[in-house]
Structure 1
Amino acid sequence: MRKLTTLAALLVASPAFAASGPFFSLGNTDFIVTLAFLLFIAVLFYFKVPSLLAGMLDKRAEGIQSDLDEARSLREEAQTVLATYERKQKEVQEQADRIVEHAKAEASAAADQAKEDLKASIARRLAAAEDQIASAEAGAVKEVRDQAIVVAIGAARDVVAKQMTAAEANKLIDAGISEVEAKLH
């Protein structure tokens, strides 16, 4: 029914009425054009072209809808991946901060240990230097004593040599021998 009203509206509103002469004659080009147009429309409806076009449009709409659904799912997946990446980046940043803080603490501990080691090394070196000084002092004192003994013996020899006679020397030698004998037995 609707098709008939559409066809009637096309006939009534056509520019064919603007042509001169009888309208329903084969000599009127407006009438021929109108008949050809109506015949073309009828052929289109006979071969169900509008329903084919509607089906093609529906298929296209379904394809577009599936593309939109796929794009939506890809977008959601991308947002999930982005959120995961951001979370991992935050974790890595926190881990890097902890590593830096740990490294600073270790460096501070190493510096403190190095200071303690340096103090201990300085104390050892000071003790070694004091030992060397004491040893050098003891060596110097011994050398001075040895030299004093040598000088004293030389002086005593000179004094004893000037004051001693042969008889006294023989008595001293005999006394020394008897003292050695007594100590050895």
Structure 2
Amino acid sequence: MKVIVGLGNPGSEFAHTRHNIGFEVIDALSGQHSIQLTKTKFNALFGKGTIDGQELLLVKPLTYMNASGEAVGPLLHFFKLSAEDLLVIQDDMDLPVGKIRLRQKGSAGGHNGIKSLIQHIKTQEFARIKVGIGHPQRTHEAVVRHVLQGFSGEEQMEIDSAIERAAKAAEAWMTLPFPQVMNTYNANK
């Protein structure tokens, strides 16, 4: 079994904000593969299904972004899964709006959701799909405001395309070696 986790914040007030792009990719995969997210355990909403014959869990942590690991760590443990079975979809302010970048491992890079995951699963060795949300000015207040707002009309077209590409990359990860998936999707503009 594999696990695809989309990072975000629960609640309607955070829906369709920049920080919730991970949830949107999970919603896209859920719809495309008829995997209903109806189960809750360990403060996570999830659904079981298959993609290309491979069993998986689609997961949205119900913790806030900064505590995502509190949901994902126990879920991995319960299903006896390792970091090798995990793919995380996250927002990335250092990428232009709509660009995606896949990484096989690495530090949190200032992303508090990833920092929490690393802390709770005790490794940086898990695959990620980063979706660019653009970067505001460098003040802390501007960053907080930026990640909790929606996309402009112009940006929305780029984001819709990025969600689609991220979902396709996640599907490819189910059956192909991740370096091969990275080569395909990191080269794609």
TM-score band by shorter chain is: under 0.3
More contact order relative to length (CA 8 Å, sep ≥ 6): 2
Structure label with greater radius of gyration: 1
The structure that is strand-richer by fraction is: 2
